[in-house]
Amino acid sequence: MAEDKARYVITGGSAAGMAAAQAITEQDLNGIITVLSEEPDMPYFRPLIPYMVTGKKSAGDMQMSGNGPYKGSGIDIHVNSRVDSVNVSERTVSINGQGNISYDKLLLATGSRPYLPPEIKGADANGVFALRTLADAKAMAERVSVTDHAVMIGGGLLNLKAAFALLERGVKVTLVVYSPEVLSQLMEPDDALLIRNALDRAGLKIKTGCSATGILSDKSGVTGVSLDDGSEMPCQMICIGKGVRPNVDFLSGSEIIIDQGIVVNRYTACNTPGTYAAGDVAVTFDPVTGERIMTGLWTNAVEMGRCAGYNMTGRKTAYSGTFGIMNATQIADEPFVSMGIVHTKNTDYEVHVRNTGSTYRKVVFSPDNDRLLGVLFIGDITGAGMYRYVIRENMPINEIKSLIINQRLHYGHFIRN
Amino acid sequence: MSDELKVQEKSIDPAVQQMISKADEKGIVTVWDRYEAMTPQCGFGDTGLCCRHCLQGPCRINPFGEEPKTGICGATADVMVARGLDRAIAAGTAAHSGHAKHLAHTMMKMAKGEAKDYSIKDGDKLKAVAGRLGIAVEGREDMEIAKDVAAAALADFHEKETPVLWAATVVTPGRVKVLSDLGAVPKGIDHEVSEIMHRTLYGVDADAVNLLIAGIRCGVADLAGCYMGTDLADIMFGTPTPVVSKANMGTLKQDMVNIAVHGHNPVLSEIIVAVADDMKKEAVDAGAAGINIVGVCCTGNELMERHGIPSCTHSVSQEMAMLTGAVDAMVVDYQCIMPSVVTVAECMGTKIVTTMDLCKITGAEHIEFREEAAVEKAKEVIRVAIEVFDRRKGKPVDIPDIENTVIAGFSVESIVAALSKLDAEDPLKPLVDNIKNGNIRGVCLFAGCNNVKVPQDKNFKIMAERLLKENVLVVATGCGAGALMRHGFMDPANVDKLCGEGLKAVLTAIGEANGLNGPLPPVLHLGSCVDNSRAVALTVAVANYLGVDTDKLPVVASAAEAVSEKAVSIGVYAVAAGLPTHVGVMLPVLGSPAVTEILTDKVKELTGGYFIVDLDPESSADKLLAAIDERRKGLGL
Amino acid sequence: MSQPKEIFVVMSRCTACKTCEIACAVEHSGSKNLYGAISEKPIPKSRVYVEWVAPDGKVPIVCRHCEDAPCMHACISGAISRDDEGVVITDSDKCIGCWTCVMVCPYGVIGRHLEEHKAYRCDRCPDREIPACVSSCPTEALVYQTVDAFSSDARKDVAGEMLAGEGD
Ligand SMILES: Cc1cc2nc3c(=O)[nH]c(=O)nc-3n(C[C@H](O)[C@H](O)[C@H](O)COP(=O)(O)OP(=O)(O)OC[C@H]3O[C@@H](n4cnc5c(N)ncnc54)[C@H](O)[C@@H]3O)c2cc1C
């Protein structure tokens, strides 16, 4: 391999896969990089797909190659190319059941797909979506013309983004949430008031404590949804947002260890030689607790992908893990950042909450009040990155504690420490 | 560091340009070098968002809406800007009225026989002023009347039963009502100044509108100070009548003892002029051809309008006079004297003589002036200059061969006298008729200073050229007058070149009727900066003649290159009088959009006047012309 | 290739006058002068921050254009890239205002333009030879130099070194 050109095969052309490919191009100028993607579209910034629904961005606007850090050169990308099995001893992958290609280093970056709860019957009807791919978004955008009312099942960030895209298109939207409040993954019900108000202001209807049991349809597609309280709601579109599951099916029978996701060591390597994994499909860990976790974060997929790319070229790089929660976004007119540990009910964490009416801040310290574990900022997210840094570096916070509680931290404080 | 300013960007006066180059060669630091070293200037101060009124400060508010959004005390941008502006108005008012107070004390000493070197030069004006103030004149000695006028003047400084008389009696009756309704009639000049200091103190007035109304009241008090200054100086030193003189550095003479009198108050400089003849022998004994007194800034204007004493230079180029190497002594009283003159003087062999207790400069020689011994002190000052000449004589000097003819000395009285040659019965009629028939489209007063941020004289020159061509009658005071006189605007020979046909006809008719065999100069020199009162007096006279208030007349004002806080207070009284008032440099108010809007727009509803802040002379002239036309339309012209 | 210049801070020289903040906002305005900038919409923003550390520390903080720029990699819309001079640039047309960059910047130097719903940051003043903050600093607390030239400077101090450090 030292003399020959190294063959890098990357399965999955999205955040993790493209970040790895880009990292490899920077490290190994001679390597042959092949990216295999099951999707029909060239790699794109997946989080932008709601803009396909609103019409504010075209598929071209979302391309990864040539944007951000992705130069796009020196990478051979194959779309419509699904890997259906991996032979780790031969070091080959099979594509679309039609042929094998060999690799020296293989990255598994197949991401995740939406979870469709089996108890929701009739989900195969026309007009039922689980927004994940550009193709989904295109189909959803088309369905808008015949949609007067859309029902979103699940109150997570993804469904909220989809809901806002539909609202923008003038569709009436109702959110059906099983939890007592929206965004339950990212904050506790008591924390969500400002967000809830913003959603109400934006005209979103929300039904909490309620779940869907069946989808009604006719030849035109969806006509309504039945709920567990016995009621029915007419609608022409349904969007299911009930979390994601890693795409690992194609690995069954290989020797690669799976525990929900693909298990890797600190250097993103799998148990089999020359095999790496990164992104939504990989099991990662929390840098503070060390706990193994699965996440669905673009930021993590890129970081882990880059790390894997370096390792594949032989530049040994430890991956530093990620918080299970690390989200920044703006919902309606309300920006927020949620990161680290923010669920504190029935725990002995030291929690500081400050609610000014227009901003909300929750700061979580360890029980021995020595470490920052998590923050939730709503309304004012100034300097969020420094709090992330404090959490991640597991910094002793004695001197800066009140600055953290008051959200007054700035970089100067680190210089002086 | 910014690029070095080219000479043309520093001054458009060719004499000054020569001296700037000389300073560069000699490595002498001048105002333009210091300006460069100061750039970029602090944006907080520039926008009025810096406050040092208490010891918790300094505070500054971010002009772009970021933190800090208020001062530590909670003062908003509006409050901070209004407070800062008020203090500038108070400072300007204190200065003009301080000048007037000095004259009032001198007059009182004269009336009491304690200042024998002073006398009443214009008894008619004394009686006219006394009459206006309600002081009996019939059958009384001038000195008695003068004593009462001086007492009335001094009384106008403190709070008393009556309002400030020099304000209440000098505007139209309509204006008295406008100002009363606004609560802008001053109770006492010093009272208004000190009340501004009070209300802008930590934790007092925090209402921008209320602050600005107090500012306007103080501005009206400034009008009183200016008006008083003019009145008392005219009484003691004579009301100006047209006089021929010269301007620019060519007025310095290599073989004479050159004394530059600089500052504002004629109290001392008048005496210097008076004793110069007596001192000639001493000068000749020292080898000089004589004594040559030249003016700098408004002391120069005061002497020019009354005695035809030439003006050497003005305002921002004051250091340049010394660069010639020919100024033996620069005798200063107060206001607009850059402390740097001492440094330049040291390099050039000039002696700086300070004369007033409130204006000493480290490194200068101080000869304390006393009205009781005025002649003696004036001689002492001249002797200093002769001594310097003695050392200088025979050495080369660099006097730029540049001087302009100036006709100065246009007081309201002399203007009316000139007009009466056209219509003895109704002297204002010819003026008003020409305004009505459009020969005179409007009137513009140029006032104020030269600012280092503007190429010296450029704004004045461009704007005056535009307005004269458009038949606007241009009058000028202070260093605005200084700028225009150094570019030929006060030389009747240039009427043809500079003025539009209508204006030319009017200036020529008046000139001919007065036996000048030609026109009046294109721009009328009204005097020093306190003499802005003359512009107000003229406006009020025309308004009363027409039976309208001053805010209806096609009269505008411009401080095109303002520097001093005095220019701010003058601007405020011009606005209070109802005039559209242009300022050609930025006032430190932009940090408060609300205050900016009040000053440039909303105040119109209160006084009829408003500020036009525009740094571009071309568009400024457009705006003044538009304001003039709007008012003509209002009058149905 | 010659080493690119960077903005260094000599903390001991900073008087916290905040002139740099104003100069920066003005440079990032349409009119590029204070009097015009002050009333512009959208309101111009400064990308340098003068902060205070009790009891008397004055710390100008400016984007380091980190070698491993976390903001660039984290951006979910491809709006952040590095130009040939090594300057990390936010393309505001591509920015969707998700604030992910704000969440990951350990220096806290990415601002949020609320009216515009866009993130903004130091661009090292592409129209100028010397960035506006540096040329405006009346005490020369901000220095525009190559790393080598700056570190060989006798006045090199700890603060400068720290601020020159790369992102995490
Ligand atoms: C609408 C939306 C908004 C989001 N917003 C945010 C956000 O704001 N912040 C954030 O951090 N995250 C966000 N996410 C999540 C983020 O997009 C994912 O975490 C991220 O895309 C994961 O990247 P990945 O490379 O691991 O996998 P994926 O992006 O899932 O890509 C995997 C790719 O592999 C392909 N693939 C799968 N199996 C195979 C196979 N066997 N052979 C070949 N190809 C295969 C898939 O088709 C896909 O193209 C959002 C997601 C969505 C859908």
Q: What is the 3-state secondary structure (H, E, C) of A354-398?
A: EECCCCEEEEEECCCCCEEEEEEEECCCCCHHHHHHHHHCCCECH
Place of tokens 């250097």: A267
d(CA B47, CA C37): 11
Structure tokens at A183: 């965004």
Structure tokens at B78: 């509006």
**pLDDT above 90 as % of chain A:** 93
- A109 domain residue, yes or no: yes
Place of tokens 């005061």: B302
Tell me the pLDDT band of C161, cut-offs 50, 70 and 90. very low
Tell me the pLDDT band of C148, cut-offs 50, 70 and 90. confident
Position B436 pLDDT exceeds 80: yes
Task: Convert the pLDDT of each residue in B37-64 to its tens digit.
Answer: 898 889 999 999 999 999 999 999 999 9
Residue C130 per-residue DSSP state = S
Chain B 581-600, residues with CB within 8 Å of chain C CB atoms:
586, 590-591, 593
- A20 domain residue, yes or no: yes
For residue B582, give the 3-state DSSP assignment: strand
Q: Which of A219, A242, A265 is at the close of a domain?
A: A242
Residues A107 and A256 in one domain: yes
The strand pairing partners of C146, in sequence order, are C5
In chain B, what is the straight-line distance between the N-terminal and C-terminal CA atoms, in Å? 53
> Would you say C103 and A339 are in contact if contact means Cβ atoms under 8 Å apart?
yes
Position C165 pLDDT exceeds 80: no
- C100 domain residue, yes or no: yes
**pLDDT above 70 as % of chain B:** 99
- Beta-carbon contacts of residue C33 (< 8 Å; ≥ 6 apart): C26
Count of alpha carbons within 13 Å of B567, Cβ hemisphere only?
A: 29
Distances (CA, A) of B491 to A24, B484, B512: 82, 10, 15
B242 versus A72: the higher-pLDDT residue is B242
- C141 domain residue, yes or no: yes
Q: What's chain C's length in residues?
A: 168
Q: Which residues line ligand 1 (CB under 6 A)?
A: A 11-17, 36-39, 46-47, 49-50, 82-83, 109-112, 131-132, 158, 161, 247, 250, 279-281, 296-299, 301, 329; C 76, 98
- CA angle A320-A322-A327, nearest 5°? 145
Tell me the pLDDT band of A200, cut-offs 50, 70 and 90. very high
Question: Residue A407 sits in which domain range?
Answer: 329-414
Residues C58 and C3 in one domain: yes
Residues A281 and A372 in one domain: no
3-class DSSP string for chain A: CCCCCCEEEEECCCHHHHHHHHHHHHHCCCCEEEEECCCCCCCECHHHCHHHHHCCCCCHHHECCCCCCCCCCCEEEECCCCEEEEECCCCEEEECCCEEEECCEEEECCCEEECCCCCCECCCCCCEECCCCHHHHHHHHHHHHHCCEEEEECCCHHHHHHHHHHHHCCCEEEEECCCCCCCCCCCCHHHHHHHHHHHHHHCCEEECCCCEEEEEEECCEEEEEEECCCCEEECCEEEECCCEEECCHHHCCCCCCEECEECCCCCCECCCCCEEECHHHECEECCCCCCEECCCCHHHHHHHHHHHHHHHHCCCCCCCCCCCCEEEEEECCEEEEEEECCCCCCCCCEEEEEECCCCEEEEEECCCCCEEEEEEEECCCCCHHHHHHHHHCCCECHHHHHHHHCCCCCHHHHHHC
Structure tokens at B155: 């009384």
CA neighbor of A8 nearest in space, from A30, A29, A32, A26: A32
Residues A13 and A80 in one domain: yes
Position C154 pLDDT exceeds 50: no
Which of A299, A393, A411 has the CB atom closest to C108's CB atom? Answer: A411
Residues A109 and A11 in one domain: yes
Distances (CA, A) of B482 to B95, B406, B523: 20, 10, 11
- Test C103 with A339 for CB contact under 8 angstroms: yes
Cα B363 to the center of its chain, rounded Å? 27
Place of tokens 């006219």: B128
- C45 domain residue, yes or no: yes
Return the residue of C nearest to A393 by Cα: C168
Burial class (CB in 10 A: 0-12, 13-18, 19+), B113: exposed
- C167 domain residue, yes or no: no
| Closest protein CA for atom 16 of ligand 1 | A298
Question: How high is the pLDDT of residue B379?
Answer: 98
Residues A86 and A233 in one domain: no
- C115 domain residue, yes or no: no
Task: Convert the pLDDT of each residue in A284-297 to its tens digit.
Answer: 999 888 899 999 99
- C168 domain residue, yes or no: no
Predicted TM-score of the model (pTM): 0.86
> Would you say A12 and A274 are in contact if contact means Cβ atoms under 8 Å apart?
no
Structure tokens at A45: 């910034």
* CATH number of the domain that residue A236 is part of: 3.50.50.60
Structure tokens at A142: 């088309």
- Which chains sit next to A, with 3 or more Cβ pairs under 8 A? C
CA neighbor of A194 nearest in space, from A374, A379, A329: A379
* CATH number of the domain that residue A355 is part of: 3.30.390.30
Mean pLDDT of the region A360-389:
95
Position B354 pLDDT exceeds 50: yes
Tell me the pLDDT band of A417, cut-offs 50, 70 and 90. very low
Residues C9 and C89 in one domain: no
Place of tokens 């796009």: A72
Position C152 pLDDT exceeds 90: no
Structure tokens at A164: 């806002």
Task: Convert the pLDDT of each residue in A251-278 to its tens digit.
Answer: 998 999 999 999 999 999 999 999 999 9
> Would you say B247 and B486 are in contact if contact means Cβ atoms under 8 Å apart?
yes
* CATH number of the domain that residue C83 is part of: 3.30.70.20
Sheet (strand B472-477) strand order = B523-527, B472-477, B442-446, B555-559, B580-583, B610-613
Question: How high is the pLDDT of residue A4?
Answer: 79
Task: Say how many Å lie between the CA of residue A165 and the centre of ligand 1.
Answer: 19
| Closest protein CA for atom 29 of ligand 1 | A14
d(CA A404, CA B636): 69
Q: Which of A312, A343, A363 is at the close of a domain?
A: A312
Return the residue of A nearest to C115 by Cα: A333
Task: Convert the pLDDT of each residue in B118-134 to its tens digit.
Answer: 999 999 999 999 999 99
Identify from C34, C39, C43, C140 which residue to disrupt to test chain B contact, counting B C-beta atoms within 10 A and taking the largest count: C34
Place of tokens 């002797």: B383
- Which chains sit next to B, with 3 or more Cβ pairs under 8 A? C
Task: Convert the pLDDT of each residue in C52-69 to its tens digit.
Answer: 888 888 999 999 999 999
| Closest protein CA for atom 30 of ligand 1 | A111
The strand pairing partners of A149, in sequence order, are A172
> Would you say B272 and B280 are in contact if contact means Cβ atoms under 8 Å apart?
no
Residues A109 and A135 in one domain: no
Structure tokens at B139: 């059958």
Task: Convert the pLDDT of each residue in A208-222 to its tens digit.
Answer: 999 999 999 999 999
Residues C46 and C76 in one domain: no
Question: How high is the pLDDT of residue B39?
Answer: 83
Residues A107 and A252 in one domain: yes
d(CA B528, CA B230): 9
Least confident of A43-52, B152-161, B591-600, C7-16: C7-16
Contacts 24+ apart (CB under 8 A), B611-616: B611/B571, B611/B575, B611/B581, B611/B582, B611/B583, B611/B587, B612/B580, B612/B581, B612/B582, B612/B583, B613/B582, B613/B583, B613/B586, B613/B587, B614/B582, B614/B584, B615/B454, B615/B584, B615/B585, B615/B586, B615/C35
| Closest protein CA for atom 26 of ligand 1 | A279
DSSP states of B380-395 as a string?
HHHHHHHHHHHHHTTS
Residues A218 and A261 in one domain: no
Tell me the pLDDT band of B396, cut-offs 50, 70 and 90. very high
Residues A286 and A353 in one domain: no
> Would you say B442 and B555 are in contact if contact means Cβ atoms under 8 Å apart?
yes
The strand pairing partners of A33, in sequence order, are A8, A75
d(CA A252, CA A254): 5
Q: Which of A210, A242, A274 is at the close of a domain?
A: A242
Mean pLDDT of the region B490-517:
96
Q: What ranges make up the beta strands (E) of B478-603?
A: 523-527, 555-559, 580-583
Question: How high is the pLDDT of residue B5?
Answer: 59
Residues C50 and C69 in one domain: no
Task: Say how many Å lie between the CA of residue A107 and the centre of ligand 1.
Answer: 15
- C132 domain residue, yes or no: yes
Residues C21 and C75 in one domain: no
Residues C14 and C43 in one domain: yes
B370 versus B66: the higher-pLDDT residue is B370
Q: What ranges make up the beta strands (E) of B448-490?
A: 472-477
Residues C79 and C54 in one domain: no
d(CA A306, CA B428): 89
- C79 domain residue, yes or no: yes
Residues A8 and A101 in one domain: yes
Residues C48 and C13 in one domain: yes
> Would you say B212 and B199 are in contact if contact means Cβ atoms under 8 Å apart?
no
Tell me the pLDDT band of A369, cut-offs 50, 70 and 90. confident
d(CA B556, CA B542): 14
Residues C6 and C53 in one domain: yes
**How many domains is chain A partitioned into structurally?**
3
Q: Please report, to the nearest 10 degrees, the dihedral formed by the alpha carbons of residues A43, A44, A47, A48 taken in order.
A: -160
**How many domains is chain C partitioned into structurally?**
2
- Beta-carbon contacts of residue A249 (< 8 Å; ≥ 6 apart): none
Residue C79 Cα, gap to closest chain A Cα (Å): 5
Residues C104 and C71 in one domain: yes
- CA angle B196-B197-B203, nearest 5°? 100
Average pLDDT, rounded, for chain B:
97
Distances (CA, A) of A146 to A169, A171, B215: 12, 10, 66
Question: Residue C153 sits in which domain range?
Answer: 1-62+122-161
H or E segment to which residue B97 belongs: helix B77-111
Residues A229 and A155 in one domain: yes
Closest ligand 1 atom number to CA of residue A299: 11
Residues C84 and C30 in one domain: no
- Going by their DSSP bridges, the two strands A284-285 and A292-293 should be labelled as antiparallel
Residues C2 and C40 in one domain: yes
- Beta-carbon contacts of residue A146 (< 8 Å; ≥ 6 apart): A127, A220, A221, A236
Which of C112, C162, C168 has the CB atom closest to A415's CB atom? Answer: C162
Residue type, A122: G
CA neighbor of B35 nearest in space, from B620, B568, B613, B563: B563
Residues A228 and A167 in one domain: yes
Burial class (CB in 10 A: 0-12, 13-18, 19+), A106: buried
- A317 domain residue, yes or no: no
Mean pLDDT of the region B16-25:
96
